[in-house]
Amino acid sequence: MSNVANVPDIILEPMVRNAIVEDLGAAGDVTTRSVLPEGTRYKAQMRARQDAVVSGMQVASLAFRLIDPDLIVETVVADGTACKTGDTLMRIEGSAASILAAERVALNFAGRLSGTATLTASYVQELAGTKTRITCTRKTTPGLKLVEKLAILHGGGHNHRFSLSDAILIKDNHIAAAGGIKQVLEAVQRNVGHMVVVEIEIDGLHQLDEVLQTGGADVIMFDNMSTEDMAEAVKRIDGRAKTEASGNVTLGRLREIASANVDYISSGALTHSAGTVDFGLDF
């Protein structure tokens, strides 16, 4: 089970509220309003229809409570916990109309985020016994970055930067625009405070010596480099910077990449290619 604490609901509320408003449309749930007598109460259970690592329970609970603060919502399986097919994840009791109004938003968040957590857990398991950690990237769904990053943590992975303001990450286009590796690293040393982490991307050993000679990089990212070249780069760096492998990262290549002794492997697939776990709400 992940030890990641939930973030305060107030941070998540605007995102969940927007999703609910989008789903309700201009007139709300016309189906439920047409077929259920006013005041109908019910008990519902969110259940897993496949094995998974759970994420999104906090968000799903918030969706129900935003629709109707009087709903009684009990989370049975916490975020970051594995579940089995048939497990009850959440119980909801109260107005049937309120439960039905929040149902799809709650399931969409829970299923999607659990898909990310489950995929992340498979990457973490594949790297078991190595020093290498798996991290996400900024290839997230616009508007859902925070919860997708939390899902990475729930799956046992680690987060890369959340936004452009978190750290310096010098990529090939920055190097080209600045005139070269020496120029861009010297500019960073002049302009950046000591509390900001600096990472630079290289695509071959031909760039590494210049990075090490110029200095100023806390992390060196190997972009689409061969495993042999990455292993050689790690030896040359010799602990002077953290190392990260990126590009062409698949589940089947993780052990091979980790054999280069890199500190981190970053993969955008954890967020942009994760499936959705099948959860259902049963009355």
pLDDT value of residue 255: 97
Confidence of residue 2 (pLDDT cuts 50, 70, 90): low
Q: Name the band, by pLDDT with cuts 50, 70 and 90, for residue 1.
A: low
DSSP for the chain? Answer: ---PPPPPHHHHHHHHHHHHHHHHTTT--HHHHHHS-TT-EEEEEEEESS-EE---HHHHHHHHHHH-TTSEEEESS-TT-EE-TT-EEEEEEEEHHHHHHHHHHHHHHHHHHHHHHHHHHHHHHHTTTSS-EEE--S---TT-HHHHHHHHHHTT-B---SSTTSSEEE-HHHHHHHTSHHHHHHHHHHH--TTS-EEEEESSHHHHHHHHHH---SEEEEES--HHHHHHHHHHHTTSSEEEEESS--GGGHHHHHTTT-SEEE-THHHHS-----EEEE-
Answer whether residue 197 shows pLDDT above 60: yes
Residue 2 lies in a domain: no
- In the chain, the percentage of residues whose pLDDT exceeds 90 is 97
1 falls within a domain? no
Q: Same structural domain for residues 198 and 212?
A: yes
Report the domain count for the chain.
Answer: 2
Residue 198 lies in a domain: yes
CATH of the domain at 242: 3.20.20.70
Q: Tell me if 1 sits within 8 A of 81, measured CB to CB.
A: yes
The mean per-residue pLDDT over the stretch 106-114 comes to 98
From residue 22, how far is each of 101, 118, 272 by CA, in Å? 12, 27, 22
Residues 103 and 127 in one domain: no
269 is known to lie in a ligand binding site: yes
Share of the chain above pLDDT 70, in %: 99
Query: Please, which pLDDT band fits residue 3 given cuts at 50, 70 and 90?
Result: low
Tell whether 246 and 149 lie within a shared domain: yes
**Lookup: tokens for 115:** 């898909």
pLDDT in tens, 8-61: 999 999 999 999 999 999 999 999 999 999 999 999 999 999 999 999 999 999
What mean pLDDT comes out for the span 123-129?
98
Is 273 annotated to bind a ligand? Reply is no
Residue 118, pLDDT above cutoff 90: yes
Q: Are 279 and 89 in contact (CB under 8 A)?
A: yes
Range of the domain at 216: 123-271
What integer pLDDT is reported at residue 5 of this predicted model?
A: 72
Compute CA distances 108 → 69, 231, 276, whole Å: 20, 41, 8
| 247 annotated ligand binder | yes
pLDDT at 92 over 70: yes
158 in any annotated domain: yes
CA distance 179 to 123: 37
223 is in an annotated binding site: yes
Same domain assignment for residues 159 and 178: yes
Per-residue confidence (pLDDT) for residue 248, from 0 to 100: 87
Instruction: Examine the domain organization and report whether 127 and 247 are in the same domain.
Output: yes
- Residues with catalytic roles: 104, 139, 171, 201, 223
127 and 267 co-located in one domain: yes
Q: Are residues 101 and 146 in the same domain?
A: no
**84 and 194 share one domain:** no
Distance CA 154, CA 135 (A): 12
